[in-house]
Amino acid sequence: MELRRIGGKMKKIVEIVHDIISMHISNDSVVADFTMGQGYDTEFLANHAKYVYAFDIQASAYELTKVRLEKAELLNKVNLILDSHENCDHYIKEKIDAGVFNFGFLPHGDERITTNVESSLKAVQKALSLLKRHGILVLVMYPGHVVGKIESDALYNWSQTLSSKFFSVCCIQMHNKVKSPYIIIIQKEKVMNDD
């Protein structure tokens, strides 16, 4: 994976996330965007996978994403769900190849409506159970604001406790910029009995 953009600058986090996901999915894959926001990630996934489940709790995010997908003629490949990602198992009744959680708040929206540690932890745990063997979850953490710092610390610590028999966990972080967003990648190596 190339970390540089043309011209030499380091890629943005979202570009690195998309590179990682595109290496793991194909046009046969079923995937989930657990925080649709403005729909950039949903559109990216719909362009690269067979089918996408996308969640958000805000009607404005739902509408923005719907318009984006309509314009791109991708709406037929996506199930847009106006509900919290912690209920993902109510909607996804099949195994998925990949999922992305881009935590935080809707850019240009109400910053008080943000992902929070309790529901995020529940959702990520449910998403792990939905993963196929060798499937990946990509978590984008935002420690630069107060709620995001609590959430990212909790998820970082929790991800370190996952059994290495079943999961590989990797972190991509700007080591010299502590408040920068960073990525946690979890790959399911082995399926557990209750998956």
Contact footprint for ligand SAM (CB under 6 A): 35-41, 55-58, 61, 84-85, 102, 104-106, 113-115, 119
Nearer Cβ to ligand SAM (105/135): 105
Our CB check for ligand SAM shows the closer of 87 and 191 to be: 87
Pairwise CA distance, residues 72 & 78, whole Å: 12
Closest to 151 (Cα-Cα) out of 185, 102, 117: 117
Closest CB 18 distance from ligand SAM, rounded Å: 10
Q: Which residue is nearest to ligand SAM (CB)?
A: 37
Residue 122 or 134 having the CB closest to ligand SAM? 122
Q: In this structure, are strands 131-141 and 167-172 parallel, antiparallel, or unpaired?
A: unpaired
CB nearer to ligand SAM: pick between 9 and 112:
112
- Shortest Cβ distance from residue 87 to ligand SAM (Å)? 8
- The single-letter code of the amino acid at 53 is Y
H-type alpha helices, the chain: 13-24, 40-48, 59-71, 88-91, 117-130, 146-160
Pick 30 or 62: Cβ nearer ligand SAM: 62
Q: How far is the CB of 104 from ligand SAM (least distance, A)?
A: 4
By beta-carbon proximity to ligand SAM, the closer residue of 99 and 135 is 99
Burial of 99 (0-12, 13-18, 19+ CB in 10 A): buried
**Residue labelled with tokens 């043309």:** 6
8 A C-beta contact, residue 74 and residue 59: no
Task: Tell me if 142 sits within 8 A of 184, measured CB to CB.
Answer: no
**Distance between CA atoms of residues 146 and 151, nearest Å:** 9
Minimum separation from the CB atom of position 122 to ligand SAM (A): 9
Give min distance, CB of 73 to ligand SAM, in A: 18
CB 190, min distance to ligand SAM, A = 28
